[in-house]
Structure 1
Amino acid sequence: MFVRPKFRASKRYVQRGFRLRGNTLILLFGFFLLGLFLHYKGRTEPVVAFWNDVRSLLGIRHDRTNRPSSDNPYKAPEPNEDAATDEQTNGGGDESEASDKTGNRPERSADQRTSTSLFTFEKEVDFLLPVGKAGDELIRHEGYTLRYDDDLKNPVWVAYPLLAYEITGDAERDNERFMPDPAVEGGTALPTDYTRSGYDRGHQAPAGDFKFSQRLMRESFLMSNISPQAPQFNRGVWKQLEEQVRSWAYRDGGLYVVTGPVLKAGLPTIGKTNAVAVPEYFYKVILYCHNPDIRMIGFLLKNEPSDEPLSSFVVSVDQIEQATGLDFFPKIPDDLERRLESRRGRDVVDKWFFR
């Protein structure tokens, strides 16, 4: 005999308490996105910046286990021998115009560096550019500006503002290659001029200062930004100084950086195609402005390995000006400029090397 199965009578369950409806959730999410964009406005891409902040708070780092390792992580891959000419490089625009991993960066300005009012001289055009020999080519890139010595095939100086948010991001140097700079009319050194020379292609504006943008990091590999550096200098004390400057920029919100080789006649040269001068010394001049506070520090390092602490390379900016023939930050009022640039190394170390 067929017996109809018995089904339990259904019961209605009523959730007590507050329950968000779909429209309310969408509205709250919209307010969250609006607050996110307003909070990060003028600093960086909102979603990327928010994720970087969350990742920093949680201690999450990129997984680098699958990335290729190298005995020299500071060195980009060698270019192909048959591709290292100005004509062939200029034709390869597709790679240099590739989109950033993190999107287009907003225009860099001193106003992004600090929420307080700027010094009057900071608002002047080309405030951070040194004054020197007028015959050298002035080259303007998005991330930095430089003067290039066509005869010695070296940058005379490289200058740029370094903002705190620019040293964080997902841009990587692993796949970038050194390339001649088509903006230099007289032509730069070629990557192959350094091949088997015994010297590294040493960045002046380091790739690590442009972690925010893959495009700007790629720009740092232009040969106009490169000087011959002894391998253990480039990968040792010079790298330590670059990392120290980035830590200061992160701590203080932003800095002005001017860096380069000390050039003079009679330097030894390397190069298959060009005679590239090998500098004996390199310098960095760093300026911090946070009205009414201002401080300046200069470093002068010999192009050789060293285990000395960075503070031992601090000298007066006047000494660097005498060595290079340059005038740093000439738009600062004369009295203030003299006071900042004449301070001896031991008088400024404590004002910079603090936690």
Structure 2
Amino acid sequence: MRILSGLIGFAWLCIALPQNAEAADKRNCTAEEREQANKQLMAIAGNSGLQNEISRYHAPFGLPAFSFQGNEQILYQGGYIMAHDQDLMTSIWVTYRLTSIDLDQSSGNIRVECPRADPRLKRGASATTTDYDEPIYDQGHMANDADLKDNLLQQVNSYVMSNMSPQHGCFNRGIWLSMEHLTRRWAEAYSEVYVTSGAIFDRDGQPGRDEDDNALRMRSRNGKTRVAVPSHFFKSIARVESGRLQTITFILDHDNDFDGTAWSDVRQKVVDAIVPVKEVELMAGLDLYPALAGDLIKESLTGSEWDFSRAGPNSGGTCKI
């Protein structure tokens, strides 16, 4: 994710803090890394010109538009953009550009975990790690850290709790992880893709997002029920081809089904989850590509225009059913 590196006056935001490579494939962030990552977030939050530059890079076709219920806020990071809902205590979408260069520069970098409250949000307006102290759900990344491993601070900033959403273990470690693997393989195959992932809150089956007050909430061990649990999750992947935007979109039921760990186990379920963009837009109350006329979008409804042979295994076998 290159967006910050070329901006005059902001080169420090991309400092190359050491990865401290160990035999293990992951570690926790250091106090210095956490501090520098928070400084990066606050610097972006205070600079509208930088936010516009990030939007042009990650969302050249326009940010997803939605009908406000009054609690949403657009938050900008170097590696992605999110729309956070302070009542639901999660983001309803994230969007970012992912390139083959990003992935090449991620090679060999370990996972650096840094879960923490979002420093840009007031106390009580964002989930905390305490909210996820409960036995059912994973802290599911909306913008996953593996897509951001080419830049340490951007990876660390995928661990703000505003980027987390409650996900069943078998979902997060299973089909959702498989789709994350597949997205990276598509970025390699097509040089770059644009990724929009989101949470859907639609348990009543009626058009449009459910009212926030009606959302299912998970219960933490302290008895609080602050964070809303999505009914579905979606991904929409796009690439530019012959002057048009080639898109493919998926809706996945948020359940705890164990589908297997091999890509061959889950591939058909992923293919079966392909839907028209309009179905996501109807259920979630969004306009995913607001800056493009319909004739500039070529939508795949069968998956034939995308290579489904490239995904890797997931870790779904570690989940509890």
> TM-score, structure 2 length as denominator?
0.69
**For each residue in 1:265-312, what CA deviation from the matched residue of structure 2 results, as whole angstroms up to 9, or x when unmatched?**
323212345510111100001111134353100010011225242211
- Structure 2 residue 94 is matched with structure 1 residue 183: no
Q: Residues 163 and 96 (structure 1 numbering): CA distance in 2 closer, same or farther, change over 3 Å?
A: farther
Please point out which of 288, 291, 303 is paired with 2:254: 303
Equivalent in the alignment of 2:274 = 314
Q: Secondary structure at the match of 2:66?
A: coil
In the other structure, the counterpart of 2:86 is: 150
- Of 286, 289, 292 in structure 1, the residue corresponding to residue 237 of structure 2 is 286
Are 2:78 and 1:130 aligned? no
| Cα separation, 1, equivalents of 2:58 and 2:96 | 15
Shift in CA distance, 124/232, structure 1 to aligned 2, threshold 3 Å: closer
Aligned residue runs from structure 1 range 1-355, under 5 A: 66-67=23-24, 95-97=34-36, 127-134=61-68, 135=70, 136-168=72-104, 169=106, 170-173=108-111, 175-185=112-122, 187-263=125-201, 264-265=210-211, 266-270=214-218, 271=220, 272=222, 273=224, 275-304=226-255, 305-307=257-259, 308-309=266-267, 310-337=270-297, 340=298, 345-346=301-302, 349-353=303-307
TM-fit CA distance, 1:190: 0.6
Secondary structure of 2:283's aligned partner: helix
CA distance in 2, matches of 1:147, 1:187: 13
SS state at 1:236 partner:
helix
Would the alpha carbon gap of residues 294 and 244 (structure 1) be closer, same or farther in structure 2, given more than 3 Å must change? Answer: same
Instruction: Note the residue ranges of structure 2 that are not aligned, 5 or more in a row.
Output: 6-20, 38-49, 51-55, 202-209, 260-265, 310-321
SS at match of 1:244: helix
Deviation track 1:174-225 (CA, whole Å, cap 9, x = no partner) reads x412111112346211111111231000001111101211111101111111
CA contact (8 A) 1:190 1:274 kept: no
| Aligned length in residues | 253
| Higher strand residue share | 2
Deviations 1:158-189 (A, max 9, x none): 0111111212324322x412111112346211
8 A contact 1:128–1:256 mirrored in 2: no
SS in 2 for 1:215: helix
Query: How far did residue 93 of structure 1 move?
Result: 6.5
| Structure 1: 5+ residue stretches without partners | 1-40, 45-63, 80-91, 99-107, 109-121
Greater shift, 221-230 or 288-297, is seen at 288-297
SS at match of 2:143: coil
Q: SS of the residue aligned with 2:249?
A: strand
- CA distance change for structure 1 residues 151 and 253 in 2, over 3 Å: closer, same or farther? same
Question: Which amino acid is the alignment partner of residue 254 of structure 2?
Answer: N
| Contact 2:146 2:155 (C-alpha < 8 Å) held by counterparts | yes
Contact 2:165 2:229 in 1 (8 A): yes
2:58–2:97 CA contact under 8 A, matched in 1: no
CA distance in 2, matches of 1:177, 1:192: 14
SS across alignment from 1:142: coil
- On the 8 A contact 1:180/1:188 being kept in 2, the answer is yes
**Deviation (angstroms), 1:125:** 7.4
SS at match of 1:243: helix
Structure 1 counterpart SS, 2:250: strand
Displacement of 1:260 after TM fit? Answer: 1.1
Q: 1:125 to 1:237 in 2, by over 3 A?
A: closer
| Residues 194, 237 of structure 2: 8 Å contact kept | yes
- CA–CA distance in 1 between the matches of 2:292 and 2:64? 11
CA RMSD across the alignment: 3.5
Structure showing greater Rg: 1
TM-score by length of 1: 0.63
Structure 1 segments (4+ residues) deviating >6 Å: 122-125
Give yes or no for contact 1:180–1:187 (8 Å, CA) kept in 2.
Answer: no
